[in-house]
Structure 1
């Protein structure tokens, strides 16, 4: 229920604190999960801070030594605390009074990670098509790693051994504990905002499940998914699989493997260039040799080797064809002439003129009709007698004797 106040009718501090204490007291006992930091013991009382791993928030927890006499109560441990919310009116401070402390078991952590993995996968953060390819030769590489860590040395030494001119921008952060998520995310945002950075490597060495938990944190996973720059995950060893591996653009099994995948080996590239150059040279020389052989073959053909001789040969063929044609035509004309003479002789032999030459005459009527029999004639008929040397007109006398 609200309290009516005004500048003329304010409430005293004690009343405000009493009301806040009353509201908090009505919460009752609750179970709270978090990560332990800043554990201090004063006599039989233990003071610690319980931090939310996914947010920059924490709460003070107070309890008796008997409650916290538990191997799980160490800095960085994930625990579940049964506590009563308390508000100290005199100091105006809030805290939790611990009643029971339980460690979050490995099995429970794995189950929560699996549930988070399914959630992120359903959102599409692990899809292969959203992953970006790495540049062949990055101009500058962002490296997020622990301070003075073996992972940093492995990445730098292997990368520079492969390509001595490679450049790194290094952000050293906490890679385990309560501050790891916040520092890694902040370093990622800083490197991602730098246009000179072509790829970012997030790396650390191996460790227990609890040590690697920050790299399965939802905040970090979503930060990597939203990065503009390709991100390479190189966390732990081959068997380690934090959720960061699934959302990163490329997973490397170790820090050394990350250096090999991000930076090309200059010796291998030089050898590859030489091999490609040699293959190109062999291909070109082979093509030139084939074309030279073809050209030599073409040039060796008679038409090109001695073009005048070919012309002369064709000229001889033309002359021979002309002579054959001439001979064939002459023979054909001679045969035709012989046939003509023979036909003319036959015509002459069969001609009436030839008969007349032998002493015969042709008797015709004036109309040209040939008289074939004496019986056809009558006295007084006019006839035309054709002789070899001319024609004679005659008249038939009546009483002509017949032979």
Structure 2
């Protein structure tokens, strides 16, 4: 065969691109460390979740947590940097760090080597809370029309608070004192620090899914701005807004106003105030029922007395005191009216009878019978066919015409002989 038909030789694979030519672990670690080393320095903000300061160690190991998400970074820094920090660094402190990403090839771990630490001041925290407040307000999370009504008498109250805290004691004690039959579904979570927000959100979702829970109370005692910072977290505020169960915020004291107060369906000034506003006072309600029964009974008695007085007034009126007197009076009036009508009708009939008599006499005087009685006669021609006709002219009765002559006591027939004036 010719060399043209021979397959072209393939290039040998690069290291790490096939199972036959793998990279050793050290090569991969060195390459990853080189890539990460190219990232340079970066500023990062978060809360210190863990801090390990060994007395004889020059390096401090910390875990920096994102308060709005379940994410964290391992941080290393010189011991002197922690000791000379602008504020005392403890777990839960909000800080801003400048560091360089670093990959330790020996253990294959990633960390942030910090070279500068700055504390987040109260003014900056308040400014961030204000910006978040405006954002949530623009989205409508504070709209009063979205607030769900609190049930009058909840069967089970979901309570999210710190373990064995004064807030838990205040809510449960005051609520049980006011309504002994009240039940609680308590979820103990951290109420400050880096782990507070995710655990509170998880407890909130768990209680919201429980169909037996009628209202959820998020309670915590007072504290500084940093202590109450989790309750102004965007994740927690959105979780409260997404709940279908009414949520009561009882965080801090009266002057404190975290953002969860604005998102919740009801804001209570203190945990004690929350218990008073969601659970009715059994003694006060019983007193109210007793007072309402007394007032309703008194109102009913007053109504019966008023109606009895009205009936007595109606019965004392003349029309009811002697009901037949009105009939008697009207009966006499009816009799007088009937007499007057009868008299008027009789007079009218008499007058009309006289008028008819006069008219009859005049008619008899002017009628044909009276004229005939005075000697006149009515002459009619009697044709062979047809009805008799009044004779009005001699021309209508030529000789030989048959005539009918009516006189006062009857009628006679005659035959004409012609016109008498002609002879």
TM-score (normalizing by structure 1):
0.76
SS at match of 1:237: coil
Q: Equivalent residue for 1:117?
A: 133
1:104-183 paired onto structure 2 within 5 Å: 104-183=120-199
The Cα shift of 1:3 comes to 8.3
Give the aligned CA root-mean-square deviation in angstroms.
3.2
Cα distance in 1 for residues equivalent to 2:79 and 2:345:
141
Identify if the C-alpha distance between structure 1 residues 184 and 316 changes in structure 2 by more than 3 Å, giving closer, same or farther: same
Cα distance in 2 for residues equivalent to 1:124 and 1:308:
77
Q: Is the 8 A contact 1:82 1:100 kept in 2?
A: yes
1:237-276 per-residue CA deviation (whole Å, 9 max, x = no partner) reads 1111111111111111111111111111222322333343
**How many residues are matched?**
344
Q: Equivalent residue for 1:63?
A: 77
Cα distance in 2 for residues equivalent to 1:233 and 1:202:
5
Identify if the C-alpha distance between structure 1 residues 86 and 327 changes in structure 2 by more than 3 Å, giving closer, same or farther: closer
Cα distance in 1 for residues equivalent to 2:137 and 2:109:
41
Cα distance in 2 for residues equivalent to 1:325 and 1:117:
96
The Cα shift of 1:287 comes to 3.7
Q: Equivalent residue for 2:66?
A: 52
Q: Equivalent residue for 1:39?
A: 51
1:149-195 per-residue CA deviation (whole Å, 9 max, x = no partner) reads 11111111111222121111111111111211121111111111100
Q: Is the 8 A contact 1:37 1:51 kept in 2?
A: yes
Q: Is the 8 A contact 2:102 2:110 kept in 1?
A: yes
Q: Equivalent residue for 1:13?
A: 25
Cα distance in 1 for residues equivalent to 2:345 and 2:94:
122
TM-score (normalizing by structure 2):
0.73
Identify if the C-alpha distance between structure 1 residues 123 and 318 changes in structure 2 by more than 3 Å, giving closer, same or farther: closer
Cα distance in 1 for residues equivalent to 2:282 and 2:29:
69
- Asked if 1:249 is matched to 2:265, the reply is yes
Unmatched segments (≥5 aa) in structure 2:
1-13, 355-374, 377-423
Identify if the C-alpha distance between structure 1 residues 314 and 47 changes in structure 2 by more than 3 Å, giving closer, same or farther: same
Cα distance in 1 for residues equivalent to 2:21 and 2:315:
118
Q: Is the 8 A contact 2:15 2:21 kept in 1?
A: no
Cα distance in 1 for residues equivalent to 2:61 and 2:208:
39
Q: Is the 8 A contact 1:206 1:236 kept in 2?
A: yes
Identify if the C-alpha distance between structure 1 residues 10 and 301 changes in structure 2 by more than 3 Å, giving closer, same or farther: same
Cα distance in 2 for residues equivalent to 1:51 and 1:328:
119
The Cα shift of 1:15 comes to 2.2
Q: Equivalent residue for 2:40?
A: 28
Cα distance in 1 for residues equivalent to 2:210 and 2:221:
26
Q: Equivalent residue for 1:344?
A: none
Q: Equivalent residue for 2:205?
A: 189
Q: Is the 8 A contact 2:176 2:182 kept in 1?
A: yes
1:3-402 paired onto structure 2 within 5 Å: 5-42=17-54, 43=56, 44-69=58-83, 70=85, 71-321=87-337
**Greater alpha carbon shift after TM alignment, 301-310 vs 133-142:** 301-310
Unmatched segments (≥5 aa) in structure 1:
341-365, 368-403
